[in-house]
Amino acid sequence: MKSYLEGFYKKSIKERQQLIFGEQLADFKPLLESGGLALPKADRILENVIGIYALPLALAVNFKINNQDQLIPMVLEEPSVVAAASAAAKSSYKNGGFTVKSEKSQTTAQILIKTSDPDNYWKQIMQNRDELLAALAGEDPQLESLGGGVLGLERQPLNWKGHLVVNLMVDCLDAMGANAVNTYGEKLKQLVRGRFPGKPLAAIITNAFPGRTTRARAVFTLKPRAGLSANQIQELFMEIYTWALHDPLRALTNNKGILNGIGAVALACGNDFRATSAAVHYRSFSNSSGLPLAVWEKVGKNKVQGTLSLPLALGSVGGMTNFHPLISKFFKFLNIQKSDSLNAMAACAGLANNFSAIKAIAVEGIQANHMKLHNKKK
Ligand code: NAD
């Protein structure tokens, strides 16, 4: 579906709905107006439910991802994020849009073992590796029937006397995989219990999502504004970016701007946005090139290229994705079948929001647009 939609923001809600859904609007309308969730269904998602809490669902437009137009759903409470993402995407569109690559869909569980001799314990695990992995098979028959399942074992580097942590990697295909890997992890804990000298204490997913990186890259054109040439804006843009390389207080705020996009996509797609935030913050603290998550470079005199690499594990299945009527219907409508498509949308939205925030801080100040949109509520 076409995503380059000039003046989408100027249209009425009715006109936007008609433009997007066309003949399918009658099917979508009740879900769009109610939020798509009835109380009896809500009662099956959480405990102690007393009502439904609504937030706006919006579309970020103008995104081209790997040569295909892509509308990006976003849900959040902060004005200006959707506008900023759409404006940034517009300035990348004619440069070819976003190029995205995702690593394999690996999710990792960790097993904590108390042992007086961690080296020997690990040696025993390695000697019995094939047998242990074979015994894990069958824990998630559906995942395994689709080609996913256990990938392998690794020892987590750890400076903690008397303890060993084993990482168990699972290919979770299109799922985030938290429940899947916790199931495999618990099983491994059972399998080693009493077998080697030591005590397995716990098994739990790591939200660092090692080995599940998504990388998004795009070139954005800068236009003269506020009495500044494109080249002057490029210089200021690079100053603001470089500030984040030198100052962790700025870097964290820079990364929060990236999360504005990523979290909004995660929420709109029924995914665990807290898990996404944890992974993003982990990457920012373990980033060898510094704290800001995206790397920015000048291209010619009036463009900048951004590259954002981060662990993302959004699921197109699992959690509440298939259960929530609006989300599942919207996934079909947008032809979202794979976890990779969601991770790509989130990474692109994050990079686009980073571009817009740095540019706004560099040129007119962050409050100009923010307050204009904020004031719509008055
Ligand atoms: P899930 O358990 O709801 O479902 C995933 C399952 O769907 C797979 O295990 C598989 O059996 C099946 N499946 C069907 N088609 C598939 C396909 N194409 N690819 C992969 N699997 C397919 O979901 P999950 O992803 O294991 O867990 C996600 C949920 O766990 C989220 O709601 C999250 O909030 C929650 N959670 C998070 C944490 C954490 O992040 N620390 C911890 C526990 C639970």
Residue 290 has pLDDT above 70, yes or no: no
Dist CA 373 CA 376 (whole Å):
5
Three-state DSSP at 321 gives coil
Question: CB under 8 Å to 138, separation ≥6 — which residues?
Answer: 144
What value does the mean pLDDT of the chain take? 95
**Residues in a beta bridge with 15:** none
Write the residue with the smallest CA distance to atom 24 of ligand 1. Answer: 177
Residue 370 has pLDDT above 70, yes or no: no
Q: Mean of the pLDDT values across residues 271-292?
A: 86
Q: Name the E strands within the chain.
A: 57-65, 68-75, 98-102, 106-114, 149-155, 163-171, 199-205, 213-221, 294-299, 303-311
106-205 adopts what CATH topology?
Answer: Alpha-Beta Plaits (3.30.70)
Query: Which two tokens mark 314?
Result: 């959004």
Among 63-72, 219-228, 280-289, 349-358, the minimum mean pLDDT is found in 280-289
Nearest Cα to Cα of residue 260 among 341, 342, 358, 350: 350
Active-site annotation, residues? 78, 256, 272, 370
What is the DSSP-derived secondary structure letter of residue 316?
S
pLDDT for residue 367: 66
Write the residue with the smallest CA distance to atom 17 of ligand 1. Answer: 174
Q: How far is the CA of 328 from the centre of ligand 1 (A)?
A: 15
pLDDT digits (tens, 9 = 90+) for 32-63: 999 999 999 999 999 999 999 999 999 999 99
Q: Residue 269: CB within 6 Å of ligand 1?
A: no
pLDDT for residue 291: 87
Place of tokens 């690990």: 122
pLDDT for residue 104: 87
Dist CA 158 CA 142 (whole Å):
34
Q: Residue 142: CB within 6 Å of ligand 1?
A: yes
Q: How far is the CA of 100 from the centre of ligand 1 (A)?
A: 23
**DSSP per residue over 73-131, as a string?**
EEE-S-TTHHHHHHHHHHHHHTTT-EEEEE---EEEEEEEEE-S-HHHHHHHHHHTHHH
Domain ranges of the chain: 8-103+213-377, 106-205
Residue 247 has pLDDT above 70, yes or no: yes
**Residues in a beta bridge with 25:** none
Residue 3 has pLDDT above 90, yes or no: yes
pLDDT digits (tens, 9 = 90+) for 302-338: 999 999 999 999 999 999 999 999 999 999 999 999 9
44, 204, 267, 317, best to mutate for ligand 1 pocket (most atoms within 8 Å of CB): 317
Write the residue with the smallest CA distance to atom 2 of ligand 1. Answer: 179
Nearest Cα to Cα of residue 338 among 92, 133, 81, 100: 100
Determine the length of the chain: 378
Q: Residue 322: CB within 6 Å of ligand 1?
A: no
pLDDT for residue 375: 63
Predicted confidence band at 369 (pLDDT cuts at 50, 70, 90)? low
pLDDT for residue 322: 92
Dist CA 290 CA 245 (whole Å):
6
Q: Mean of the pLDDT values across residues 88-113?
A: 97
Q: What are phi and psi of 98, to 5 degrees?
A: -100, 140
pLDDT for residue 224: 96
Stated pTM of the model: 0.95
pLDDT for residue 284: 84
Q: Residue 266: CB within 6 Å of ligand 1?
A: no
Among 235-239, 257-261, 374-378, the minimum mean pLDDT is found in 374-378
Instruction: Please tell me the class of the 8-103+213-377 domain.
Output: alpha beta
Longest dimension (CA), the chain: 73
Dist CA 181 CA 178 (whole Å):
6
Q: Mean of the pLDDT values across residues 209-220?
A: 96
Q: Residue 185: CB within 6 Å of ligand 1?
A: no
